[in-house]
Structure 1
Amino acid sequence: MMPISLFKQGVAYTQAEHTIIDFITSNPTEFLVMPIQQLAARLGVSDATVSRFARHAGFRDFKELKATVAASTLGPAEKIAASIEGGPTSPRAFLERQQSYLGITAERIDEEAFMKAARTLAGASLVLIHGKGAASCCAELLRFRLSRFSKRVVVVPPAGSELFEGLVHMDKDSVLVTFGFQRLPEESRIAIEQARSVGATSILFTSRALHGAGAEPDIELVAYRGEPLEYHSMAGAVALVDALVVAVAAQLDGSATDELERLRALKRAYESTLPR
């Protein structure tokens, strides 16, 4: 059984929609391999009813509903197995697939939200970054890049009550960056809520629109990472982080490159002692 909390709470679902919820929560693996027409026929409802249910339950469409169920049901081993079974596993094939996902990310990018994120980070007095699990690599990359611009950047602990050791320093001039791909971690939800309570700006990197997830970030940046049943690479997320870093540098209007030149000079001064 999967948790019913996956679906938007506080909604008056119809009897047909309760039937759909009961089937998905009781048979998530079977649900994942069903097209919308097969599911509708199995439950004795129309395709339109299933489509409306997906939106009613807090998802953009049926495809996003499936992606969320997959993220809540399948473990890393199952996703890798599905990816192996689903096609060629050569390095070239894998990289070409990631290249196509980068193209989808580029097509879907909300440029207004992206530039707002760049401007906000450039003007922040403090940047707090939170990344849990595989997303910790993105968090560390963003910390490393922004720190080179002499920004005050802190990576907060990923889980547990130590999370609050970082969040307590947030104020209205701070920016929170967190990562929640197929689903929003509870720690990210709490961090976004805390940012809102003190007037800080929150930026969420995700692989889908997390409407109805319990916390709404101020800015949402979406990186497409593939279909629900396959292994999800961080390539698109890392590329989007790097794109944001370059945009922040442009917003800093020369001060970012000045800092990098000072760093370069310092390295040259000690290159005989500490070679690269």
Structure 2
Amino acid sequence: MTDPSLFPTGVAYTPAEELIINHIVEKPREFLLQSIQDVAASLGISEATVSRFARHAGFGDFKTLKNAVAARSLGPADKMSASIDEGAGDVQAFLRQQRANIDRTLEGLDEESFAKAVHALVASRRIFLHGKGASACVAELLRFRLNRYGMLVELLPAGGTELMEGLVHAGPSDVLVTFGFQRVSPEGQALLDHGEKVGCTTVLFTDRYVRSVGPRATIELYTYRGEPRAYHSMASAVALVDALVVGIAAQLDGPALETLDRIKELKRAYGHLLAR
């Protein structure tokens, strides 16, 4: 089954539309394999009714509806299986898909928002980073890169009330960065909400063009990671983070290079004592 909350309440659905909702909730995997014609035939309704339902329920069109159902219904094993079926484990096909994902990220990225993110991070007193699940590794990469420039960076706990131990120190001169792919986690929502309350800049990495639910970030950076039914790689997210790091280095210029030079000198001075 899929989550019934996918469909907004307070909407006056027709009996035929209720049939469609029940079909999707009870048989999401079957629905994902069906065309509009298939759904109409299986439920004994018209194709126009199925098409209208998608718009009436707030999804724009039938494809958007299917993508939303896939995002709610398919687990990691299903997505991995779909990717294996499509690419047959071919490394070239997989890497070409990642290149396509990066191209889509470039098309969807707002350059003004990117520039604002660079400026905000450079001007910040301190940077708080948060990532949960697979995005935790991207948050750690960003922490490592920015720390090498001598910037004050704190990686917040992924979840639980321990998150508040670090979040309580955030103020108007700080920047909060979080990752919310498919949906913003409860921790991410708390971070964005708190950031707004204390007046600090918040940056959200997201794969959604439009988000109508939950607190908004000051700056949102779009990252395309593939179709909802496919395995979601972090390649495009990492590429965008690296682009952000390079943009910050260009703004910092001398100070960033000086810090890197000092790191190099320390490695040279104490390298004989440390394991490689």
Within a 5 Å distance, the mapping from 1:105-254 to structure 2 comes to: 105-254=105-254
Which runs of 5 or more residues in structure 2 are unaligned? none
In structure 2, the partner of 1:53 is: 56
Q: Per-residue deviation at 1:112?
A: 0.8
Q: Per-residue deviation at 1:159?
A: 1.1
Larger-gyration structure (1/2): 2
How many aligned positions are there? 271
CA distance in 1, matches of 2:220, 2:61: 18
Q: Partner letter of residue 169 of structure 2?
A: H
In structure 2, the partner of 1:90 is: 90
Q: Per-residue deviation at 1:149?
A: 1.3
Q: Per-residue deviation at 1:69?
A: 2.6
Q: Partner letter of residue 243 of structure 1?
A: A
* Equivalent residues of 1:177, 1:203 under 8 A apart: yes
Q: Partner letter of residue 80 of structure 1?
A: M
In structure 2, the partner of 1:258 is: 258
Q: RMSD of the TM alignment (CA)?
A: 2.3
SS in 2 for 1:179: strand
Q: TM-score, normalised by structure 2?
A: 0.88
* Equivalent residues of 2:225, 2:233 under 8 A apart: yes
* Equivalent residues of 1:8, 1:212 under 8 A apart: no
In structure 1, the partner of 2:11 is: 13
Q: Per-residue deviation at 1:124?
A: 1.0
Q: TM-score, normalised by structure 1?
A: 0.88
* Equivalent residues of 2:51, 2:61 under 8 A apart: no
CA distance in 2, matches of 1:18, 1:151: 54
Output one character per residue of 1:107-141: Cα deviation in whole Å (capped at 9) or x when no partner: 22111111111111111111111111111110100
In structure 1, the partner of 2:33 is: 33
* Equivalent residues of 2:20, 2:50 under 8 A apart: no
Output one character per residue of 1:4-40: Cα deviation in whole Å (capped at 9) or x when no partner: 333556xx42314665544433332233223456546
CA distance in 1, matches of 2:125, 2:6: 36
SS in 2 for 1:125: coil
CA distance in 2, matches of 1:221, 1:184: 13
* Equivalent residues of 1:101, 1:224 under 8 A apart: yes
Q: Per-residue deviation at 1:154?
A: 0.8
CA distance in 2, matches of 1:128, 1:79: 31
Name the % identity.
48
